[in-house]
């Protein structure tokens, strides 16, 4: 079961401005956003969707306007070039992990179910959570927990893991959780969510892939083309916000003598768009969602 797409109508309404255009859904998943985009396209319109997860291929759409590309969205530009596409009218990204990936216990994404430490979105890749937990140096682990999990006690967590694995390999999600039994019960849900998020981001190189996709999006969008991004945690949203504001992820852009810099996008709305209470009540995943829409200058 794939999740109900968050901000489905709003995101697609803001994305599709030319029914005859070429659009890209870089996070196909269960195909909810892609199906909605196709509804708004004319017979001349085209949609290319990306997903690196083999399970997503089972949801492919039988429509001659549609092409599903089984690749990570960090290869956006090259894969579209292979199909003869150099410019597009709009790009949509619904980031994060699908409900399907969380619910498939053996994938190891969920804190609720015991499973092998895996967390790979692309099951063909070598790096998985088990390798990270059992082989990364203490400093590397502390850095992952601090930057990707936003955990202040990151050094202690890394030390506990390294100490434990010297006598016994950490094989499963339960093995990992047991190491932190000292965390008070009322804090455990949030704590384990942050730990798992940190490891998952490292396994899938999520933030690096997002940066690469955003840079390529700007290159392949036509002037007035739209970039719509839905994110679910502050690390992603910060990158998207900064990129749409000044085309950079860190630092400040060069300014002229009047203090102006060359903008790359206009924002459809200055503040992030969030789901209303009705959608949050219907779909708990929507609670943390933030959508930003950039219009290429």
The span from the CA of 120 to the CA of 133, in Å, is 14
Q: Are 196 and 223 part of one and the same domain?
A: no
* pLDDT recorded at residue 211: 98
Helices marked H in 22-170: 32-40, 76-82, 99-103, 129-135, 138-147, 154-165
The total number of structural domains that make up the chain: 2
Q: Indicate which CATH number applies to the domain containing 94.
A: 3.40.50.150
- Annotated binding residue at 32? yes
Q: Are 234 and 282 part of one and the same domain?
A: yes
Decide if 126 is inside a domain: yes
On the CB side of 175, how many CA atoms lie within 13 Å of its CA? 18
pLDDT for 3 beyond 70 = no
- Annotated binding residue at 249? no
pLDDT digits (tens, 9 = 90+) for 97-156: 765 566 676 787 888 889 999 999 999 999 999 999 999 999 999 999 999 999 999 999
Query: Which residue among 154, 179, 204 closes a domain?
Result: 204
Decide if 110 is inside a domain: no
The span from the CA of 218 to the CA of 196, in Å, is 31
Q: Indicate which CATH number applies to the domain containing 180.
A: 1.10.150.170
* pLDDT recorded at residue 105: 62
Decide if 105 is inside a domain: no
Sign of CA dihedral 143, 196, 170, 174: positive
Q: Angle at Cα 79 formed by Cα 18 and Cα 237, nearest 5°?
A: 70
- Annotated binding residue at 31? yes
CA distances from 195 to 57, 58, 181, 222 (A): 29, 30, 13, 39
- Helix axes of 138-147 and 154-165: crossing angle, nearest 10 degrees: 140
- Annotated binding residue at 51? yes
Q: Are 168 and 189 part of one and the same domain?
A: yes
Q: Are 14 and 88 part of one and the same domain?
A: yes
Decide if 184 is inside a domain: yes
Q: Which of 262, 219, 218, 271 is nearest to 241 (CA)?
A: 271
Q: Are 197 and 218 part of one and the same domain?
A: no
Q: Are 273 and 254 part of one and the same domain?
A: yes
* pLDDT recorded at residue 98: 66
- Annotated binding residue at 101? yes
What mean pLDDT comes out for the span 63-76? 98
Q: Are 256 and 123 part of one and the same domain?
A: no
Q: Are 123 and 80 part of one and the same domain?
A: no
Tell me, what DSSP letter sits at residue 47?
E
pLDDT digits (tens, 9 = 90+) for 227-277: 999 999 999 999 999 999 999 999 888 888 888 888 899 999 999 999 999
* pLDDT recorded at residue 254: 84
pLDDT digits (tens, 9 = 90+) for 169-219: 999 999 999 999 999 999 999 999 999 999 999 999 999 999 999 999 999
- Annotated binding residue at 164? no
Range of the domain at 47: 8-99+207-296
Decide if 95 is inside a domain: yes
Q: Are 129 and 196 part of one and the same domain?
A: yes
Helices marked H in 169-233: 173-178, 185-204, 206-220
Q: Are 183 and 220 part of one and the same domain?
A: no
Per the prediction, the chain carries an average pLDDT of: 94
């Amino acid at each position: 079961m794939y999740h109900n797409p968050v901000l489905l109508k709003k995101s697609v309404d803001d994305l599709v401005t030319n029914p005859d255009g070429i659009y890209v859904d870089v996070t196909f998943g269960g195909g909810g956003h892609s199906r909605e985009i196709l509804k708004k396209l004319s017979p001349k319109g085209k949609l290319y969707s990306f997903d690196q997860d083999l399970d997503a291929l089972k949801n492919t759409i039988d429509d001659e306007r549609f092409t599903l590309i089984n690749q990570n969205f960090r290869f956006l530009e090259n894969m579209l070039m292979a199909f003869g596409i150099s410019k597009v009218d709009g790009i949509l990204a619904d980031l994060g992990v699908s409900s399907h990936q969380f619910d498939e216990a053996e994938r190891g994404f969920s804190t609720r179910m015991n499973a092998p430490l895996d967390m790979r979105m692309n099951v063909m890749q070598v790096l998985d959570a088990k390798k990270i937990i059992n082989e990364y140096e203490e400093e590397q682990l502390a850095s992952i927990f601090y930057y990707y999990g936003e955990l202040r006690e990151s050094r202690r967590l890394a030390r506990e893991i390294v100490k434990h694995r010297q006598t016994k390999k950490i094989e499963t999600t339960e093995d990992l959780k047991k190491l932190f039994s000292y965390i008070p019960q009322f804090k455990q849900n949030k704590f384990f969510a942050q730990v798992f998020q940190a490891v998952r981001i490292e396994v899938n190189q999520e933030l690096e892939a997002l940066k690469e996709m955003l840079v390529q999006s700007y290159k392949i969008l036509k002037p007035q083309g739209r970039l719509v991004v839905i994110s679910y945690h502050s690390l992603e949203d910060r990158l998207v916000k900064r990129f749409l504001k000044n085309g950079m992820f860190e630092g400040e852009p060069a300014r002229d003598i009047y203090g102006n810099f060359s903008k790359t996008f206009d924002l459809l709305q200055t503040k992030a768009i969030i789901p209303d209470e009705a959608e949050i009540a219907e779909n708990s995943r929507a609670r943390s969602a933030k959508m930003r829409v950039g219009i290429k200058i």
